[in-house]
Structure 1
Amino acid sequence: MNGIHDLAGMDGMGPVSPTGWEPNYHADWEKAAWSFFPFGARAGMFGLDEFRCHLEQLHPVHYLTAYYYEHWVHATEKIGAKKGYWTEKELDTRAEYYLKYPNVPLPKNDNPELVAFAEWAVNNGFSTARTLDKKPKYKIGDVVIVDSSVPKKHTRRAGYVRGRTGTIVMYHGPHVYPDTTGNGLPETSEHLYTVRFTNEELFGKEAGEPNGSIVTDLWEPYVTLVAQ
Protein backbone atom coordinates (compact mmCIF):
# COMPACT_ATOMS: atom_id res chain seq x y z
CA MET A 1 0.00 0.00 0.00
CA ASN A 2 1.06 3.61 -0.35
CA GLY A 3 1.87 5.39 2.88
CA ILE A 4 4.29 7.40 4.95
CA HIS A 5 6.21 4.21 5.80
CA ASP A 6 7.43 4.00 2.17
CA LEU A 7 9.90 6.89 2.27
CA ALA A 8 12.58 5.61 -0.09
CA GLY A 9 13.22 8.05 -2.92
CA MET A 10 11.06 10.80 -1.41
CA ASP A 11 12.19 14.44 -1.29
CA GLY A 12 11.55 17.12 1.29
CA MET A 13 11.93 15.05 4.46
CA GLY A 14 14.93 17.04 5.70
CA PRO A 15 18.45 15.88 6.60
CA VAL A 16 19.20 12.70 8.51
CA SER A 17 21.09 13.71 11.64
CA PRO A 18 22.10 10.63 13.63
CA THR A 19 23.30 11.11 17.18
CA GLY A 20 26.68 9.87 18.30
CA TRP A 21 25.10 7.55 20.86
CA GLU A 22 21.61 6.54 21.80
CA PRO A 23 20.41 3.95 24.35
CA ASN A 24 18.87 0.73 23.10
CA TYR A 25 15.73 1.50 25.10
CA HIS A 26 14.41 4.86 26.27
CA ALA A 27 12.18 3.34 28.98
CA ASP A 28 11.41 -0.02 30.59
CA TRP A 29 8.17 -0.39 28.63
CA GLU A 30 10.18 -0.51 25.39
CA LYS A 31 11.93 -3.65 26.61
CA ALA A 32 8.55 -5.32 27.03
CA ALA A 33 7.37 -4.00 23.64
CA TRP A 34 10.43 -5.54 21.94
CA SER A 35 9.29 -8.98 23.11
CA PHE A 36 5.90 -8.61 21.44
CA PHE A 37 7.12 -9.62 18.01
CA PRO A 38 9.18 -12.77 18.77
CA PHE A 39 6.71 -14.03 21.35
CA GLY A 40 3.68 -13.20 19.19
CA ALA A 41 5.27 -14.97 16.24
CA ARG A 42 6.12 -17.97 18.43
CA ALA A 43 2.50 -18.15 19.61
CA GLY A 44 1.27 -18.15 16.00
CA MET A 45 -0.44 -14.77 16.38
CA PHE A 46 1.21 -13.25 13.31
CA GLY A 47 4.11 -13.41 10.90
CA LEU A 48 6.49 -10.66 9.87
CA ASP A 49 4.48 -9.41 6.89
CA GLU A 50 1.17 -9.28 8.74
CA PHE A 51 2.96 -7.37 11.51
CA ARG A 52 4.35 -4.92 8.95
CA CYS A 53 0.92 -4.49 7.37
CA HIS A 54 -0.49 -3.19 10.64
CA LEU A 55 2.45 -0.83 11.14
CA GLU A 56 1.60 0.68 7.76
CA GLN A 57 -1.90 1.53 8.93
CA LEU A 58 -0.72 4.02 11.55
CA HIS A 59 -1.76 7.63 11.01
CA PRO A 60 1.09 9.40 9.15
CA VAL A 61 1.65 12.00 11.91
CA HIS A 62 1.74 9.32 14.59
CA TYR A 63 4.02 7.15 12.46
CA LEU A 64 6.60 9.94 12.17
CA THR A 65 6.40 11.26 15.73
CA ALA A 66 5.93 8.13 17.86
CA TYR A 67 8.78 6.17 19.39
CA TYR A 68 9.79 3.13 17.36
CA TYR A 69 8.37 0.60 19.82
CA GLU A 70 5.03 2.40 19.98
CA HIS A 71 4.56 1.08 16.45
CA TRP A 72 5.13 -2.47 17.72
CA VAL A 73 2.60 -1.98 20.54
CA HIS A 74 0.00 -0.71 18.06
CA ALA A 75 0.43 -3.66 15.67
CA THR A 76 0.28 -6.23 18.47
CA GLU A 77 -2.81 -4.64 20.03
CA LYS A 78 -4.70 -4.55 16.74
CA ILE A 79 -3.81 -8.06 15.56
CA GLY A 80 -4.45 -9.60 18.99
CA ALA A 81 -7.88 -7.95 19.27
CA LYS A 82 -8.82 -8.95 15.72
CA LYS A 83 -7.91 -12.59 16.38
CA GLY A 84 -9.53 -12.83 19.80
CA TYR A 85 -6.47 -12.92 22.06
CA TRP A 86 -7.91 -9.97 24.01
CA THR A 87 -10.56 -7.28 23.67
CA GLU A 88 -10.24 -3.53 23.25
CA LYS A 89 -11.98 -3.15 26.62
CA GLU A 90 -9.38 -5.32 28.33
CA LEU A 91 -6.60 -3.23 26.83
CA ASP A 92 -8.30 0.01 27.90
CA THR A 93 -8.74 -1.31 31.45
CA ARG A 94 -5.06 -2.26 31.69
CA ALA A 95 -3.99 1.13 30.28
CA GLU A 96 -6.19 2.98 32.78
CA TYR A 97 -4.57 1.03 35.61
CA TYR A 98 -1.04 2.06 34.64
CA LEU A 99 -2.12 5.66 34.04
CA LYS A 100 -3.47 5.71 37.59
CA TYR A 101 -0.44 3.91 39.04
CA PRO A 102 2.47 4.89 36.77
CA ASN A 103 5.15 3.68 39.19
CA VAL A 104 3.86 0.12 39.38
CA PRO A 105 6.49 -2.18 37.80
CA LEU A 106 5.60 -4.20 34.74
CA PRO A 107 4.71 -7.87 35.35
CA LYS A 108 7.76 -10.09 35.49
CA ASN A 109 8.18 -13.27 33.47
CA ASP A 110 10.93 -15.61 34.60
CA ASN A 111 10.21 -18.34 32.05
CA PRO A 112 13.71 -19.49 30.97
CA GLU A 113 12.30 -21.14 27.85
CA LEU A 114 10.97 -17.80 26.57
CA VAL A 115 14.26 -16.07 27.36
CA ALA A 116 16.18 -18.76 25.46
CA PHE A 117 13.81 -18.42 22.51
CA ALA A 118 14.22 -14.63 22.43
CA GLU A 119 18.00 -14.98 22.40
CA TRP A 120 17.78 -17.53 19.58
CA ALA A 121 15.46 -15.25 17.57
CA VAL A 122 17.84 -12.30 17.89
CA ASN A 123 20.80 -14.36 16.65
CA ASN A 124 19.01 -16.37 13.95
CA GLY A 125 15.88 -14.53 12.86
CA PHE A 126 12.97 -16.33 11.18
CA SER A 127 13.85 -17.79 7.81
CA THR A 128 11.42 -17.10 4.96
CA ALA A 129 13.09 -19.55 2.54
CA ARG A 130 10.69 -22.15 1.15
CA THR A 131 10.46 -24.78 -1.58
CA LEU A 132 8.44 -24.37 -4.77
CA ASP A 133 7.55 -26.80 -7.56
CA LYS A 134 7.50 -24.26 -10.37
CA LYS A 135 10.79 -23.13 -11.88
CA PRO A 136 11.87 -19.46 -11.87
CA LYS A 137 10.85 -17.43 -14.92
CA TYR A 138 13.95 -15.27 -14.92
CA LYS A 139 17.71 -15.55 -14.56
CA ILE A 140 20.67 -13.36 -13.65
CA GLY A 141 21.26 -10.81 -16.40
CA ASP A 142 17.61 -10.52 -17.46
CA VAL A 143 16.26 -6.98 -17.82
CA VAL A 144 12.88 -6.56 -16.13
CA ILE A 145 10.34 -3.83 -15.55
CA VAL A 146 8.52 -3.48 -12.24
CA ASP A 147 4.70 -3.50 -12.12
CA SER A 148 3.60 0.14 -11.94
CA SER A 149 0.14 -0.45 -10.49
CA VAL A 150 -0.74 1.07 -7.12
CA PRO A 151 -1.44 -1.63 -4.52
CA LYS A 152 -4.20 -1.03 -1.99
CA LYS A 153 -2.92 -3.62 0.49
CA HIS A 154 0.42 -4.74 1.91
CA THR A 155 3.27 -5.24 -0.54
CA ARG A 156 7.07 -5.08 -0.54
CA ARG A 157 7.07 -3.51 -4.02
CA ALA A 158 8.47 -0.13 -3.06
CA GLY A 159 6.97 2.94 -4.69
CA TYR A 160 10.22 4.34 -6.05
CA VAL A 161 10.88 1.29 -8.27
CA ARG A 162 7.37 0.87 -9.71
CA GLY A 163 7.42 1.22 -13.47
CA ARG A 164 11.23 1.27 -13.53
CA THR A 165 13.53 -1.01 -15.49
CA GLY A 166 16.45 -2.87 -13.92
CA THR A 167 18.70 -5.90 -14.26
CA ILE A 168 18.54 -9.08 -12.19
CA VAL A 169 21.88 -9.54 -10.42
CA MET A 170 21.05 -12.28 -7.88
CA TYR A 171 18.56 -15.13 -7.45
CA HIS A 172 17.61 -16.24 -3.92
CA GLY A 173 15.21 -19.13 -4.51
CA PRO A 174 11.61 -19.26 -3.28
CA HIS A 175 10.64 -17.17 -0.25
CA VAL A 176 7.39 -16.39 1.55
CA TYR A 177 5.35 -13.98 -0.57
CA PRO A 178 4.47 -10.83 1.43
CA ASP A 179 1.42 -9.96 -0.66
CA THR A 180 -0.48 -13.00 0.61
CA THR A 181 0.73 -13.56 4.18
CA GLY A 182 0.84 -9.83 4.91
CA ASN A 183 -2.84 -9.49 4.05
CA GLY A 184 -4.13 -12.32 6.20
CA LEU A 185 -4.19 -14.93 3.43
CA PRO A 186 -2.69 -18.43 3.61
CA GLU A 187 1.06 -18.55 3.12
CA THR A 188 2.35 -18.83 -0.43
CA SER A 189 5.87 -18.52 -1.81
CA GLU A 190 7.40 -16.98 -4.93
CA HIS A 191 10.86 -16.79 -6.46
CA LEU A 192 12.91 -13.87 -5.16
CA TYR A 193 15.49 -11.82 -7.07
CA THR A 194 17.82 -8.89 -6.42
CA VAL A 195 17.39 -6.25 -9.13
CA ARG A 196 19.83 -3.41 -9.81
CA PHE A 197 18.59 0.00 -11.03
CA THR A 198 20.72 2.91 -12.18
CA ASN A 199 20.19 6.14 -10.27
CA GLU A 200 19.32 7.84 -13.53
CA GLU A 201 16.55 5.31 -14.17
CA LEU A 202 15.08 5.88 -10.72
CA PHE A 203 15.52 9.61 -10.23
CA GLY A 204 16.19 11.09 -13.67
CA LYS A 205 19.34 12.32 -15.34
CA GLU A 206 19.45 15.60 -13.43
CA ALA A 207 18.88 14.24 -9.91
CA GLY A 208 20.43 10.77 -10.24
CA GLU A 209 24.05 10.41 -9.13
CA PRO A 210 26.14 9.62 -12.23
CA ASN A 211 27.33 6.01 -12.45
CA GLY A 212 25.49 5.13 -9.23
CA SER A 213 23.01 2.28 -8.77
CA ILE A 214 20.64 0.86 -6.19
CA VAL A 215 19.68 -2.77 -5.61
CA THR A 216 16.45 -4.07 -4.10
CA ASP A 217 14.84 -7.48 -3.66
CA LEU A 218 11.72 -8.17 -5.73
CA TRP A 219 9.45 -11.20 -5.90
CA GLU A 220 8.68 -12.73 -9.28
CA PRO A 221 5.08 -11.42 -9.60
CA TYR A 222 6.42 -7.88 -9.24
CA VAL A 223 8.39 -7.91 -12.50
CA THR A 224 8.03 -8.67 -16.23
CA LEU A 225 10.78 -9.48 -18.69
CA VAL A 226 11.67 -6.65 -21.05
CA ALA A 227 11.79 -7.84 -24.67
CA GLN A 228 15.35 -7.80 -25.99
Structure 2
Amino acid sequence: MKSVLVLLGVLLPLTCFGQSGLTGKGLFFPTPSVDSYVRLFPLKPLNLEAFTLCMRLYVDPTIVNDETRDTILFAYRTQDQDELNVWLESKNISLYLTNSLVGVTYPTPPLSIFRTNLCLTWESSTGLTALWVDGHRSTLQAYGKNIQVQSDGTVLLGQDPDSLLGDFDESQSFVGEITDVNMWDYVLTGDQIRHFNDKVWVGPEPNVINWDTVQYKGHGTAFVVPEKYK
Protein backbone atom coordinates (compact mmCIF):
# COMPACT_ATOMS: atom_id res chain seq x y z
CA MET A 1 0.00 0.00 0.00
CA LYS A 2 2.84 2.40 0.84
CA SER A 3 4.34 2.03 -2.65
CA VAL A 4 0.95 2.79 -4.24
CA LEU A 5 0.61 5.94 -2.17
CA VAL A 6 4.11 7.05 -3.15
CA LEU A 7 3.27 6.57 -6.84
CA LEU A 8 0.07 8.53 -6.56
CA GLY A 9 1.96 11.23 -4.73
CA VAL A 10 4.18 11.91 -7.75
CA LEU A 11 1.28 11.98 -10.18
CA LEU A 12 -0.62 15.18 -10.82
CA PRO A 13 -4.26 15.22 -9.64
CA LEU A 14 -6.59 15.79 -12.54
CA THR A 15 -8.26 18.73 -10.82
CA CYS A 16 -4.92 20.57 -11.00
CA PHE A 17 -4.91 20.99 -14.74
CA GLY A 18 -6.85 22.55 -17.54
CA GLN A 19 -4.22 23.34 -20.11
CA SER A 20 -2.66 22.24 -23.39
CA GLY A 21 -0.46 19.39 -24.55
CA LEU A 22 0.18 15.92 -23.15
CA THR A 23 3.38 15.05 -25.00
CA GLY A 24 4.94 11.97 -23.43
CA LYS A 25 2.26 11.82 -20.74
CA GLY A 26 -0.75 9.66 -19.98
CA LEU A 27 -3.99 9.83 -18.02
CA PHE A 28 -4.45 7.36 -15.16
CA PHE A 29 -7.90 6.39 -13.86
CA PRO A 30 -7.09 4.29 -10.77
CA THR A 31 -10.54 3.03 -9.78
CA PRO A 32 -14.10 2.83 -11.12
CA SER A 33 -15.83 6.14 -10.53
CA VAL A 34 -18.89 8.17 -11.41
CA ASP A 35 -17.12 11.52 -11.65
CA SER A 36 -13.58 11.12 -13.04
CA TYR A 37 -13.12 12.14 -16.66
CA VAL A 38 -11.05 14.27 -19.02
CA ARG A 39 -12.63 16.51 -21.59
CA LEU A 40 -10.63 17.01 -24.79
CA PHE A 41 -11.07 20.06 -27.01
CA PRO A 42 -10.44 19.06 -30.66
CA LEU A 43 -8.60 21.23 -33.16
CA LYS A 44 -11.67 21.32 -35.41
CA PRO A 45 -15.33 20.29 -35.23
CA LEU A 46 -15.99 16.57 -35.49
CA ASN A 47 -18.04 16.93 -38.65
CA LEU A 48 -16.72 13.66 -40.00
CA GLU A 49 -17.23 11.54 -43.10
CA ALA A 50 -14.10 9.50 -42.33
CA PHE A 51 -11.61 9.16 -39.51
CA THR A 52 -8.67 7.33 -38.01
CA LEU A 53 -8.72 7.20 -34.20
CA CYS A 54 -5.69 5.84 -32.33
CA MET A 55 -4.84 5.43 -28.65
CA ARG A 56 -2.63 3.44 -26.31
CA LEU A 57 -4.24 1.60 -23.40
CA TYR A 58 -3.07 -0.06 -20.20
CA VAL A 59 -6.00 -1.51 -18.28
CA ASP A 60 -6.84 -3.26 -15.03
CA PRO A 61 -7.89 -6.60 -16.55
CA THR A 62 -9.61 -7.79 -13.38
CA ILE A 63 -12.13 -4.99 -13.94
CA VAL A 64 -12.42 -4.16 -17.62
CA ASN A 65 -12.28 -7.76 -18.88
CA ASP A 66 -15.22 -8.75 -16.70
CA GLU A 67 -17.75 -10.16 -19.18
CA THR A 68 -20.61 -8.59 -17.23
CA ARG A 69 -19.12 -5.09 -17.56
CA ASP A 70 -18.90 -2.64 -20.49
CA THR A 71 -16.07 -0.11 -20.44
CA ILE A 72 -16.01 3.13 -22.42
CA LEU A 73 -12.75 3.82 -24.26
CA PHE A 74 -13.72 7.00 -26.17
CA ALA A 75 -16.93 9.02 -26.09
CA TYR A 76 -18.15 11.82 -28.34
CA ARG A 77 -21.71 13.03 -27.82
CA THR A 78 -23.82 15.96 -28.98
CA GLN A 79 -26.80 17.32 -27.08
CA ASP A 80 -29.13 14.92 -28.90
CA GLN A 81 -27.25 11.64 -29.21
CA ASP A 82 -24.05 9.60 -29.08
CA GLU A 83 -22.10 10.33 -32.25
CA LEU A 84 -18.88 8.31 -31.94
CA ASN A 85 -18.29 5.87 -29.11
CA VAL A 86 -15.71 3.12 -28.71
CA TRP A 87 -16.44 0.40 -26.14
CA LEU A 88 -14.91 -2.70 -24.64
CA GLU A 89 -17.95 -4.98 -24.44
CA SER A 90 -17.65 -8.58 -23.22
CA LYS A 91 -14.00 -8.62 -24.35
CA ASN A 92 -14.94 -7.20 -27.77
CA ILE A 93 -14.09 -3.76 -29.14
CA SER A 94 -17.22 -2.05 -30.50
CA LEU A 95 -17.71 1.13 -32.53
CA TYR A 96 -21.00 3.05 -32.55
CA LEU A 97 -21.67 5.94 -34.93
CA THR A 98 -24.61 8.38 -34.61
CA ASN A 99 -26.41 6.05 -32.17
CA SER A 100 -25.87 3.87 -29.10
CA LEU A 101 -27.76 0.77 -30.26
CA VAL A 102 -26.40 -0.47 -33.59
CA GLY A 103 -22.63 -0.74 -33.93
CA VAL A 104 -19.88 -2.93 -35.31
CA THR A 105 -18.02 -5.39 -33.06
CA TYR A 106 -14.55 -6.90 -33.26
CA PRO A 107 -13.68 -9.97 -31.16
CA THR A 108 -10.24 -9.24 -29.70
CA PRO A 109 -7.75 -10.78 -27.28
CA PRO A 110 -8.33 -9.49 -23.72
CA LEU A 111 -6.70 -6.15 -23.00
CA SER A 112 -3.98 -6.34 -20.36
CA ILE A 113 -1.84 -4.41 -17.90
CA PHE A 114 0.72 -4.10 -20.70
CA ARG A 115 0.34 -1.52 -23.45
CA THR A 116 -2.07 -2.13 -26.31
CA ASN A 117 -1.88 0.09 -29.41
CA LEU A 118 -5.39 0.50 -30.76
CA CYS A 119 -6.61 2.22 -33.95
CA LEU A 120 -10.01 2.35 -35.66
CA THR A 121 -10.70 3.52 -39.19
CA TRP A 122 -13.97 4.31 -40.95
CA GLU A 123 -15.13 6.07 -44.10
CA SER A 124 -18.70 6.95 -44.99
CA SER A 125 -18.35 6.67 -48.77
CA THR A 126 -17.70 2.92 -48.63
CA GLY A 127 -18.85 2.05 -45.13
CA LEU A 128 -15.58 0.19 -44.60
CA THR A 129 -14.28 0.08 -41.05
CA ALA A 130 -11.40 -1.79 -39.44
CA LEU A 131 -9.74 -2.30 -36.08
CA TRP A 132 -5.98 -2.32 -35.69
CA VAL A 133 -4.37 -3.87 -32.58
CA ASP A 134 -0.58 -3.54 -32.19
CA GLY A 135 -0.20 -3.00 -35.92
CA HIS A 136 -2.37 -5.94 -36.98
CA ARG A 137 -5.57 -5.23 -38.92
CA SER A 138 -8.84 -7.04 -38.44
CA THR A 139 -10.98 -8.13 -41.34
CA LEU A 140 -12.87 -5.22 -42.87
CA GLN A 141 -16.49 -4.77 -41.93
CA ALA A 142 -19.28 -2.73 -43.55
CA TYR A 143 -20.87 -0.17 -41.25
CA GLY A 144 -22.20 3.35 -41.40
CA LYS A 145 -22.26 3.89 -45.15
CA ASN A 146 -23.40 7.39 -46.20
CA ILE A 147 -23.78 8.70 -42.65
CA GLN A 148 -21.98 11.65 -41.09
CA VAL A 149 -20.72 12.29 -37.57
CA GLN A 150 -22.12 15.65 -36.45
CA SER A 151 -20.30 18.55 -34.81
CA ASP A 152 -21.09 20.60 -31.67
CA GLY A 153 -20.44 17.77 -29.24
CA THR A 154 -18.14 16.90 -26.34
CA VAL A 155 -15.18 14.47 -26.36
CA LEU A 156 -14.64 12.62 -23.07
CA LEU A 157 -12.19 10.04 -21.80
CA GLY A 158 -13.07 8.00 -18.72
CA GLN A 159 -16.88 8.21 -18.78
CA ASP A 160 -19.83 7.63 -21.10
CA PRO A 161 -22.17 10.63 -20.96
CA ASP A 162 -25.88 9.94 -21.38
CA SER A 163 -26.38 13.69 -21.64
CA LEU A 164 -23.98 16.27 -23.10
CA LEU A 165 -21.77 16.30 -19.99
CA GLY A 166 -23.35 14.09 -17.35
CA ASP A 167 -25.43 11.08 -16.36
CA PHE A 168 -22.39 8.83 -15.89
CA ASP A 169 -22.43 5.19 -14.81
CA GLU A 170 -19.63 3.88 -12.59
CA SER A 171 -19.97 0.38 -14.04
CA GLN A 172 -19.02 1.78 -17.49
CA SER A 173 -16.10 3.97 -16.42
CA PHE A 174 -12.58 3.42 -17.70
CA VAL A 175 -10.03 1.95 -15.27
CA GLY A 176 -6.36 2.05 -16.22
CA GLU A 177 -4.14 4.34 -18.26
CA ILE A 178 -4.82 5.95 -21.62
CA THR A 179 -2.40 7.95 -23.70
CA ASP A 180 -1.59 9.16 -27.22
CA VAL A 181 -5.21 9.69 -28.27
CA ASN A 182 -4.99 11.07 -31.80
CA MET A 183 -7.55 11.54 -34.56
CA TRP A 184 -7.44 12.37 -38.25
CA ASP A 185 -10.43 13.20 -40.45
CA TYR A 186 -9.37 10.64 -43.06
CA VAL A 187 -8.21 7.02 -43.18
CA LEU A 188 -4.48 6.54 -42.71
CA THR A 189 -2.68 3.91 -44.75
CA GLY A 190 -1.74 0.58 -43.23
CA ASP A 191 1.94 1.51 -43.19
CA GLN A 192 1.17 4.74 -41.37
CA ILE A 193 -0.94 2.98 -38.75
CA ARG A 194 1.77 0.37 -38.18
CA HIS A 195 4.14 3.23 -37.33
CA PHE A 196 1.83 4.10 -34.43
CA ASN A 197 3.53 1.22 -32.60
CA ASP A 198 6.77 3.21 -32.61
CA LYS A 199 7.65 5.47 -29.70
CA VAL A 200 8.23 8.39 -32.07
CA TRP A 201 5.34 9.04 -34.48
CA VAL A 202 6.57 9.65 -38.04
CA GLY A 203 3.21 9.84 -39.80
CA PRO A 204 1.08 12.87 -40.71
CA GLU A 205 0.23 15.34 -37.98
CA PRO A 206 -3.18 14.58 -36.40
CA ASN A 207 -5.59 17.28 -37.56
CA VAL A 208 -8.62 16.66 -35.32
CA ILE A 209 -7.18 15.58 -31.96
CA ASN A 210 -3.43 15.95 -31.43
CA TRP A 211 -2.26 14.54 -28.09
CA ASP A 212 0.85 16.73 -28.15
CA THR A 213 -1.10 20.00 -28.32
CA VAL A 214 -4.66 19.16 -27.27
CA GLN A 215 -6.44 21.44 -24.83
CA TYR A 216 -7.95 19.43 -22.00
CA LYS A 217 -9.75 19.81 -18.72
CA GLY A 218 -10.01 17.17 -16.02
CA HIS A 219 -12.46 16.36 -13.27
CA GLY A 220 -12.37 13.89 -10.41
CA THR A 221 -9.71 11.56 -9.04
CA ALA A 222 -7.61 10.71 -12.08
CA PHE A 223 -3.99 11.71 -12.61
CA VAL A 224 -1.55 12.88 -15.24
CA VAL A 225 1.24 10.34 -15.64
CA PRO A 226 4.62 12.12 -16.00
CA GLU A 227 6.85 11.45 -18.98
CA LYS A 228 9.42 9.54 -16.90
CA TYR A 229 6.96 6.64 -16.58
CA LYS A 230 6.53 6.40 -20.35
State the TM bucket, normalised to the shorter chain.
under 0.3
Please identify which structure carries the higher helix content.
1
Question: TM-score when scaled to structure 2?
Answer: 0.23
Higher relative contact order (CA 8 A, sep 6+): 2
